[in-house]
Amino acid sequence: MSDAYASIQSRIRAAALAAGRAADAVTLVAVSKTQPWDHIAPVLDAGQRVFGENRVQEALGRWSERRQGLELRLIGPLQTNKVREAAAFFDVIETLDRDKLARALADEIQARGKAPRLFVQVNTGEEAQKAGVAPGEADAFVGRCRALDLPVEGLMCIPPAEDDPAPHFRMLGQIAARNGLEKLSMGMSGDFETAIACGATSVRVGSALFGHRG
């Protein structure tokens, strides 16, 4: 088995236990975007079944032929003209971040009669270049998604690279709690243990697992 994979798994379990949570409380989302297949294959062979991808087209190319038994999550921005493909292919879409996308997803879900699980992305640092609803608008946005019958199960964030991530993770947890949402997708290679201490239910780990992206 890949050493990095075993090491990340044991760090996740240790962080969960240290936070007084069950060892298996946190799902590892292995972020395979842009990685060569020879980096991904050993992790897949070792039993990893949940993968995160940033782009619809790239994900289709990488996973279509070996889709069986996997949970695939879209963790990058979704354009409304890709909603049909994304809703058909992904088990989870973590980047619901605007009303136009919410309406397009609702229409698509109604037409198909089957929905991916959804996370609302919150721009906790209110960075202009980042996607996500502003923290102050999150409650109202979650409400509008629910009014469209969208199955929102959690929140996702990507804190500003230069900040201490802990306050951002705590803020996401507070928004989730007051909206009755149980899932928190937060923490990446550099900060997943902090995220687990703050209540992450899934962490998105790429480079620490597969090596630096080219």
Distance (Å, whole) CA 203 – CA 192? 6
Residue type, 12: I
The nearer residue to ligand PLP, 44 or 148, going by C-beta atoms, is: 44
Q: Which of 158, 176, 195, 200 binds ligand PLP (CB under 6 A)?
A: 158
* Cβ-based nearer residue to ligand PLP, 44 or 106: 44
User: Are 132 and 96 a contacting pair, CB within 8 Å?
Assistant: no
Contact with ligand PLP (CB under 6 A) among 105, 188, 197, 198? 188
Check binding of 102 to ligand PLP (CB under 6 A).
no
Residue 198 binds ligand PLP (CB under 6 A): no
Stretch that binds ligand PLP, among 63-71, 100-108, 138-146, 185-193 (CB under 6 A): 185-193
# binding residues, ligand PLP (CB under 6 A)? 14
Give buried/exposed letters for 154-193 (b at 16+ CB in 10 A, else e): bbbbbbeeeeebeebbebbbebbeebebebbbbbbbebbb
Contacting ligand PLP within 31-70 (CB under 6 A): 31, 33, 54
Which of the ranges 13-21, 58-66, 160-168, 203-211 carries the binding residues for ligand PLP, by CB under 6 A? 203-211
- Interface with ligand PLP, residue 15, by CB under 6 A: no
Question: Is the CA virtual torsion 18, 10, 49, 213 positive or negative?
Answer: positive
Helix crossing, 165-178 with 138-147: angle to 10°?
40
Q: How far is the CB of 205 from ligand PLP (least distance, A)?
A: 5
The answer to whether residue 75 forms part of the interface with ligand PLP (CB under 6 A) is yes
Least distance from ligand PLP to the Cβ atom of residue 169, Å: 13
Residues that bind ligand PLP (CB under 6 A): 31, 33, 54, 75-76, 158, 188-190, 204-208
